[in-house]
A and B are shown apart, each in its own frame.
Chain A
Amino acid sequence: MGVMADRLEASLDGLADTREFGSWMVAEQKRIFLLCRRMLQDVEEADSATQDTFLKAWLALKRPESRDLDDPSKWVTRIAINTCLDRLRSRRWQFWRKRPHPDDEATVLSMAPSADPDAERQVMAREIVERLERALDKLSNRQRAAFTLRHYEDRSLAEIAGILDLHVGTVKVHLFRAVEKLREELHDLYFREGRK
């Protein structure tokens, strides 16, 4: 009788854990997926990297010593970035890798309707946003990680340093180079005529 009760309690505990994990995942999922897509520039690979990220998070949370996380959002971001960096490193050998297809992207991603009533300006704004995302390809892996965390996630340099396990000074250098390489796209995004 005691064994049965223990077993029942354990499975209920497991269920509660799964539920809690599930709602946390729902809250973080879109952000992590977009982060992976910006890092990997491929919807399919970003999908698989996002799955890996949450799987690793789940397994890590199962270990009792990692129960008390002071910043779960930063922690899962770190897992995601490392997962993407690993994939980018192994990609160097995958010269047969297929190029991402724009149709795959279109079924998964869409632009939210803009508040701008001018249809032409809306299209142009959308075009600039997409061009900047594609231009991330010009950056080295670390530059891309630092820029993505700053530009899209609005993280401080200290936070980025923590996530990437680098000194703040090194993060600054990566960001500086990234901004240099993306100068044209950033100029169009922020200072293009008629945007002010």
Chain B
Amino acid sequence: MKHWTETDFEQGLYGLKDRDAHLDECPECRGELERLTQERRRVAAQPEVSREFLEAQRRNIYRRLEEPRRNWVAWRWVISAAMLLALALGLTLQRSRPTAPAISDDQLFSDLSRMEQSAEPKAIQPLHSLFEE
């Protein structure tokens, strides 16, 4: 009867080797596998984590849970303030802007044709006199 080796036990512990016929009939190997499993569980329970640390961590989590809501409330204030400011500014501009007098179509056409004629940059105009007889 060949007992399980160290490698067999390691693989058995990590799910890499199934229970076999030997394990079924050998109480010694079964006992050893049980001991190793207990040892692994004992190790897994370590280390202890400080209670203060866990409490502080939970406080941080709650604070962060609240954040999106708080941000939205803050943004609502910012948006409302910006809208009020825009409205006030609009009203002020509206009041201070001189009202343009209505012009007739004829007036508009004559203005446009004058603009076309004087399309040349003003700085060039004095030069024309040099070439004019």
List the interface of chain A (C-beta within 8 A of B): 18, 22, 25-26, 29-30, 33-34, 47, 50-51, 54-55, 58, 107-112, 129, 132, 147, 150-154, 156-157, 172, 175-176, 178-179, 183, 186-187, 189-191, 195-196
Chain A proximity of B56: nearest CB distance (Å): 9
Let me know if B58 and A25 touch, CB within 8 A.
yes
Given A51-B57, A54-B61, A154-B40, residue A110 in contact with residue B48 (CB < 8 A): yes
B103 is an interface residue with CB less than 8 A from chain A? no
Quick check: B16 and A176 within 8 Å, CB to CB?
Answer: yes
Q: Please judge, given known A-B contacts A29-B57, A55-B64, whether A129 and B46 are in contact too, CB under 8 Å.
A: yes
Please count the residue pairs between chain A and chain B whose beta carbons lie under 8 angstroms apart in the complex. 92
Q: With a CB–CB cut-off of 8 A, which chain A residues contact B43?
A: 129, 132, 151-152, 189
Q: Are B65 and A175 in contact (CB under 8 A)?
A: no
Contacts of B64 in A (CB 8 A): 51, 55
Bound-state Cα–Cα, A111 to B50, Å: 10
Q: Enumerate chain B residues within 8 angstroms of A189, measured Cβ to Cβ.
A: 39, 43
In the complex, are the beta carbons of A175 and B44 less than 8 A apart?
no
* Known contacts A55-B64, A190-B10, A190-B36; is-contact A108 B44 (Cβ 8 Å): no
Report Cα–Cα, A53/B56, bound state, in Å.
Answer: 16
Asked whether any CB of chain A lies closer than 8 Å to the CB of B4, the reply is no
10 interchain residue pairs of minimum CB distance: A109-B47, A152-B44, A108-B53, A157-B15, A110-B48, A54-B61, A112-B48, A30-B49, A51-B61, A111-B47
Chain A residues in 8 Å Cβ range of B62: 22
Query: What is the CB-to-nearest-CB distance from B115 to chain A, in angstroms, rounded to a whole number?
Result: 60
In the complex, are the beta carbons of B11 and A172 less than 8 A apart?
A: no
* Cα A22 to Cα B59 with chains together (Å): 11
B9 x A109 contact (CB < 8 A): no
Residues of B72-111 contacting chain A, CB below 8 A: none
Bound-state Cα–Cα, A30 to B44, Å: 12
Residues A151 and B45 in contact in the complex (CB < 8 Å), given A33-B57, A55-B61, A179-B10: no
Chain B residues near A107 (CB, 8 Å)? 50, 53
Partner of A190, one of B39, B47, B60, B61: B39
CA distance A18 to B50 in the complex (A): 24
B65 to chain A, nearest CB (A): 6
Complex contacts, B35 vs chain A, CB 8 Å: 196
Contact in complex: B16, A25 (CB < 8 Å)? no
Whole-angstrom distance from the CB of B12 to the nearest CB of chain A? 11
Chain B contacts for A191, CB-based, 8 A: 6
Complex formed: what's the CA distance from A151 to B58 in Å?
A: 27
Per the bound structure, the CA–CA distance linking A1 and B54 in Å amounts to 42
